[in-house]
Amino acid sequence: MSHESPLAWLGKQKEKQALNLCKKHMDDIAKTAEAMKNTVHLFSRDGQNIREKAEIVLDNERKADETKSKILEELSTGNFPPLSRENIIRLIMTADDIADNARAAAMKLTFLDPESVDQEVKDSLKELSDLAYESTKLLKKAFEATLEKPDSVRQETSAVEKIEEKTDTFRAEKLIPKMVKWADKSNKPGTSFVISEVENNIEEVVDQAENCADVIREIAIGSL
């Protein structure tokens, strides 16, 4: 990696502005995932005032969307190299999927009665949400490395990948077996379906975080 000024490879000021907005976007995404995690935790306890928690997720998702729009505006008015523009767009659109899935998971929980769901399933969803939030925190750290310490990007993005692998193992060995067992016994097809959808949304947060990490790695390679 080059030992030049961290932003030297970015070239024009417009591109620097876009990347700084991307940093804010990553922060918005992490806050959205954190709010989703808090909603899942509340659902696991008693679900009291869960709609209020879900609204916080919505608010943060909207902020992320507003930041995304500002980034796209910067990209449309600046003189960017095609590859640079493409990578930034890929990054923010993939990150946008993280916020969308976090919002979807939180909102779906508002339709359910927490008492109708097995406690072991709820606790496992809570653990899954912890992994999802952790992946977004690591993703934010990885992106910040592209601006501040490019030579650490590979290590930081690898940490995101490890969370994704840990999540896959957790789902296969613990969460899904518990969900199947409960669904077979509960005779609540509607509730079981929504819980499955929530699980899919939370998993997608982790998967899209890994996809973002891949793009961040490509952006960092551009600094060579």
**Span 12-221 CATH architecture:** Up-down Bundle (1.20)
SS3 80: coil
Residue 58 — very low, low, confident or very high, per pLDDT cuts 50/70/90?
very high
Q: What is the pLDDT of residues 79-117, one digit of tens each?
A: 666 667 888 899 999 999 999 999 999 999 999 999 999
* DSSP of 110-133: TTS-GGGS-HHHHHHHHHHHHHHH
The whole-chain average pLDDT of the chain stands at 90
Residue 60 — very low, low, confident or very high, per pLDDT cuts 50/70/90?
very high
Tell me what percent of the residues of the chain surpass a pLDDT of 70. Answer: 89
Q: So what's the pLDDT on residue 5? A: 47
Q: DSSP secondary-structure letter at 151?
A: G
- Give me 43's structure tokens: 């659902």
Domain-wise residue ranges, the chain: 12-221
Give yes or no for residue 73 having a pLDDT over 90: no
Q: 95-117 burial by CB neighbour count: b if 16+ within 10 A, else e?
A: bbbbbbbbbbbbbbbeebebeeb
Q: So what's the pLDDT on residue 10? A: 45
Q: So what's the pLDDT on residue 218? A: 87
- Specify the pTM: 0.90
